[in-house]
Chains A and B, each alone.
Chain A
Amino acid sequence: MWESAALSVTVFLPLVGAAAIALIPHAKERSAKPVALAVTLATFALSLLILASYYLGPAGGQGRAFIVDVEWIPVIGAGYRVAIDGISMPLFVLTNLLTLLCVVYCFHHIEPPGRPRAFLGLILLLQTGMAGTFVAFDLILFFVFWELVLVPMYFLIGIWGGPHREYAAVKFFLYTMFGSMIMLVGFIALYFGAGAETFSMVELSQAAAGGEYGIVFQRLVFLAIFLGLAIKVPMWPFHTWLPDAHTEAPTVGSVLLAGIMLKMGTYGFVRIAVPMLPEAAVDYAPFLAVLAVIAILYGALCCMAQTDLKRLIAFSSVGHMGFVMLGIAALTTAGVNAAIFGMVAHGLITGMLFFVVGSLKHRYHTSTIADIGGGVLQTTPRIGAILTFVAIASLGLPPLPGFWGEVVALYAAFNPAEAIVDAGLLGLFRVLVVFGAIGTLLTAGYFLTMLQRVTMGTPPRRWVDAGLQDVSPIELGAWTPLLVTTVVVGLVPLLVFGITRPDVSRILTTALTG
């Protein structure tokens, strides 16, 4: 019973919650918050239970567990197939954690026009979409969840966002939609390409390992799927929707966008693109790697030009996801491990960054660096300290999580998969490693500059007089879990590497060695 129901309940509980919130009468708007809190809390607790029983249960901490495989649309062989394994687990838990904290944060502040009912309803809807994406084992189901995410985020940005919100929202929606539609075509091609006409990811992976797909076919379909995923990641040069979306989005919107939604793209590479199109993956690996490194350097350089905190962090995401993609492009267990670790790290740290910047914006009514004018460490010492910590964490200071993701990705790129070496591309990858390492330097550069201009120095008079309030208890409540998790995961990387490694190596060995 637990085995079969747990995942579905956890995924759809927020949906139910959203419905419940929608039914709250307009007069009792406020009571939406506690409801949402209760729902997300329950969801998070459930996901922790799942995590626990994944280890203590028969799965013993590897392989797929909580498998549900029900016929859904027999005509096109799509089923309601959900399960969870070592690759999904960290992201799944992270999703529920971040959403919970976002809801907590909403007690502190919701951007105008307020309307907590609608806001929280959308957040919960979003949660279902994100969590579902990570546990779906059927391409159509995956796609449904994947797209389900767009709509609430569109409204979050469009209604609660900044001055250019509508432009940003539409751009976000259209850009991503375009990619995913192409991806859908790719999925359907996979369906007809395999002998067994099914959308089950597991069977398709097996089919691929069995050499069902011709190389030309693989290359075509990989391109289609790549487009969808790359736009979501976003990989250079498909990233232009991201800065606008992040800058305009309300705080928790940015948090979820950066914290979870970007991971959906990279997760797609690990779960779909590589296992189902292995040979094409090998062929395209160098291009992925090059794009990734371009993203690293490019993101860092663009950050140096930013005058707006949120936009700066947005571009920093481009760079960080570059490291993730570099790891994936290496096509080795270490690389994919590093990628997943990098996703978790980026989720925790960048999520936290957006929280802090959001709070700054809430206090200063601007996120422009020049207007804040430095001295945050004096006006609001705690926030300043937290910002410093998170920024340093984000520039990949060991032993905080960012470091493990980056350095292991570099290691993996230095020793890419056999197939790549056989293709005589070892040299290319090793050169890329050097450039990637230079990227870390640039990252440190702009983050420190940012710190210097924001936290250090003496604050302008007006802010001193404004008597800004330091961290509020609610904010602290929303942030402490993140900060603690960041430190713990950094000190004990086993927490993530341990979970992911067995399944990653299983997937890669089946995919690459047949």
Chain B
Amino acid sequence: MIAELSWLIPAVPAVSAALIFLIGKRLPRHGAEIGITAMAATLVLAIAVAAQVWRANVGVTIDPEGGGGAFLLERAVTLAPLGEDIAVQLGMRVDGLAAMMFVLVALVSLMVHIYSVGYMHGDARYTYYFGLLSLFSFSMLLLVIASDLLVLLVGWELVGVCSFLLIGFWWERKEIQDASMKAFLTTKFGDVGLVVAVVALGGATGSFAIGDILEAVEAGEVSHGLLTFALIAMILGVVGKSAQFPLHTWLPDAMAGPTPVSALIHAATMVTAGGFLVARLYPAFHESAAATGTLAVIGAITLITAGLLALVQSDVKKVLAYSTISQLGYMIAGLAFSYVAGVFHLFTHGFFKALLFLGAGSLIHAAGSNHMEAMGGLRRFMPITFWTFLLGSLALIAVPPFAGFWSKDEVLVSALDAGGYTGILVFALGGVGGLITAFYMTRVLYLVFAGQYRGHGQPHESPASMTFPMIVLAVAAVGIGWVNLPVEAVQARAFSSWVMYDLGYWVEHPVEFHPFLALMATVLALAGVLGAWAIYRTYPERDPMYHLGIVSHVLERRYYLDDLYTDLISRTAVRDLMGPAAAWTNDAVLDGVVAGAGRGAMGLGRRLYRTGDQKGLEGVVNGLGVSALWSAARVRLAQSGNVQLYAGAMFVGVVVLAVAFAVGGN
């Protein structure tokens, strides 16, 4: 059975990374071929494994009481004994979730590999780049497959470093160095929490194996307080890695890296690791209301704030970055209420957001700038990019029947079902978020593709190596959502049962499909689209519509109200007030805090070193020496050179001793 071979899935990229670093330079295609072949092989394996899990999980009927029954394959070898009865195990934990991640990671990674052949063509460190890509894929897959929290931590840190190295890929430039540092250190800050959590869980349950930990937790062997402590600590890690409020500020800066990297790491895979981790330990989180509540609140705040920020970006990648943060917010919030909702959104989002980034890359490649002012009218020059980008945007805007629609709907529904303050909060903000999403994506579409080309240079369609991956992902963006159709016609809710860790749980927590609710969401989305359309339709050159005489005049008049609304609400309220306000808080406050923390540590270090170490401790040590010499200078004066003084001293000594002696002696 193929799942037994799952260990090959991370192994293959690892080998390819090693090969690229060792012999890549000497190969005709400078190592790219190794990476692509390896990822292709990985993808095949991943699909095979996924298929097996599918066969095992989907469509089996289970009685509500029985529970269990989900596919789970655990294999482990002891990597090292740590203490009396605890060890770290190198092993694999293959279940629906893992299989799903395999497919996602492998596919996106393969696409990015192919895309990069064109995008990075002619770069000085081409081979190094592909080596890092493979290394990253390995690390990510290791994180996914790990059956042991320590090994998972290994993967977790490795992806962090790969991200650090890839963001700082062009390390000559200062701001890029800073961006990579900021990314690594901010996530590392979260990792402090994760490490504590791992240690705590291991300490509480006496094992680092995820299986054992979950069993122990479900059996209630872990005190509730300790569990909550560990989970909250872990959420800190999640917040860092998945760029949640308030640790999200690193992700936009991370856009300094090559665009394909943004697509792979900062959209589809690494940033979703947080969500994955929560899903991995879902039974544990399910035990602690405090933890899930925290998740919900954080997710809600993130999705709305990030969405607002996306409104005021002129850099296309920045827009996508903020939208990623906001979508991650949806995932985290969704996980708070329903396992499936979060995981499903993670899945679909991976595809279409990767697509959007690749599209953005293609645009930048063509226009030679990230800024949308320098674009415009690109539809004519690069049709494929346009269409794929459009599909991706629709998926993100969550227009039925595109992928995003199904998953986001799932989140909102589960939030509503769950109810309670958090539920309502997530539901409400999620709805508004939908509107905002639609607004900014439409804005991007108009600014980039509509109207005349405003930039310099000769825009052109990207080479096949870049368009092909976009097409593939576009297909996914359209169709991938259907794997979880709520209708009984085909295999209903296949995805849900596919990724489920415990079918019994699935029976207890069915997610209904509310047509009305879906409709409302769609309407909101469309409202956003309309608002944006109303504003950006005419930007910036004169719209031919104006020259239709009375008709246009009437239209103009008819649009007074419209303009009023849009002016007042959309432009003024949303874009000019809330957006900047959010932006300011972000840059000034949060970012200030993060940077300030760094500077503060530095300053503290300096002060500590100068006064504490060099003056204090050092002073004590040297002081002893100095005082010894000082006393030496004094004492030697007794040696006056005059023999009679010597004799005197001698007799004084005798007398003193004699007295002491005669008195103390008896």
Contact = CB atoms under 8 A, between A and B. Distances in A.
Interface in B574-592: none
A304 B203 contact: no
Contacts of B198: 407
Contacts of A239: 617
B174, B198, B605 — most chain A CB neighbours (10 Å): B605
A514 interface: no
A444 B157 CA distance: 12
Contacts of B452: none
Given A302-B613, A334-B86, A452-B177, A398 B189 contact: no
A73 interface: no
Nearest to A458: B172
A448 B609 contact: no
B602 A304 contact: yes
Interface string B186-201: 0011011001101110
Most chain B CB within 10 A, of A337, A392, A494, is at A494
B81 A304 contact: no
A188 to B, nearest CB: 25
A128 interface: no
B82 A337 contact: yes
Contacts of A398: 150, 153-154, 157-158
Given A240-B613, A304-B601, A407-B153, A433 B184 contact: no
B608 A438 contact: no
Nearest to A439: B192
B221 interface: no
A64 to B, nearest CB: 20
A377 interface: yes
Nearest to A416: B203
Interface residues of B, number: 50
Given A403-B157, A407-B195, A301 B84 contact: no
Interface in A390-405: 392, 397-399, 403-404
B621 A444 contact: no
A457 B153 contact: no
Nearest to B164: A448
Contacts of B150: 398, 407
Given A305-B609, A333-B84, A397-B158, A444 B195 contact: no
Given A298-B608, A301-B608, A437 B196 contact: yes
A497 B605 contact: no
Given A445-B185, A456-B168, A338 B608 contact: no
B598 interface: yes
Contacts of A404: 80, 88
A13 interface: no
B27 interface: no
A303 interface: yes
A334 B83 contact: yes
A291 to B, nearest CB: 13
A458 B172 CA distance: 6
Contact of A437 (B81, B192, B203, B621): B192
B88 A493 contact: yes
A412 interface: yes
Interface string B354-380: 000000000000000000000000000
B161 interface: yes
A171 B171 contact: no
Contacts of B88: 404, 493
Contacts of B177: 452, 456-457
Interface of A: 171, 174-175, 237, 239-241, 298, 300-306, 332-335, 337-338, 377-378, 392, 397-399, 403-404, 407-408, 410-412, 414-415, 430, 433-434, 437-438, 440-442, 444-446, 448-449, 452, 455-458, 492-494, 496-498, 501, 505
Interface of B: 78-84, 86, 88, 150, 153-154, 157-158, 161, 164, 168, 171-172, 174, 177, 181, 184-185, 188-189, 191-192, 195-196, 198-200, 202-203, 598, 601-602, 604-606, 608-610, 612-613, 617-618, 621, 625
**Shortest 5 CB-CB contacts between residues of A and residues of B:** A334-B83, A304-B605, A305-B609, A301-B605, A398-B154
24 contacts: A175-B621, A240-B617, A241-B621, A301-B601, A304-B601, A304-B602, A305-B606, A305-B608, A305-B609, A337-B82, A337-B83, A398-B158, A399-B158, A404-B80, A414-B199, A438-B192, A440-B188, A441-B188, A445-B188, A449-B181, A493-B79, A493-B88, A494-B80, A505-B84
Given A239-B617, A304-B601, 6 more contacts: A174-B625, A301-B604, A304-B609, A305-B606, A305-B610, A407-B150
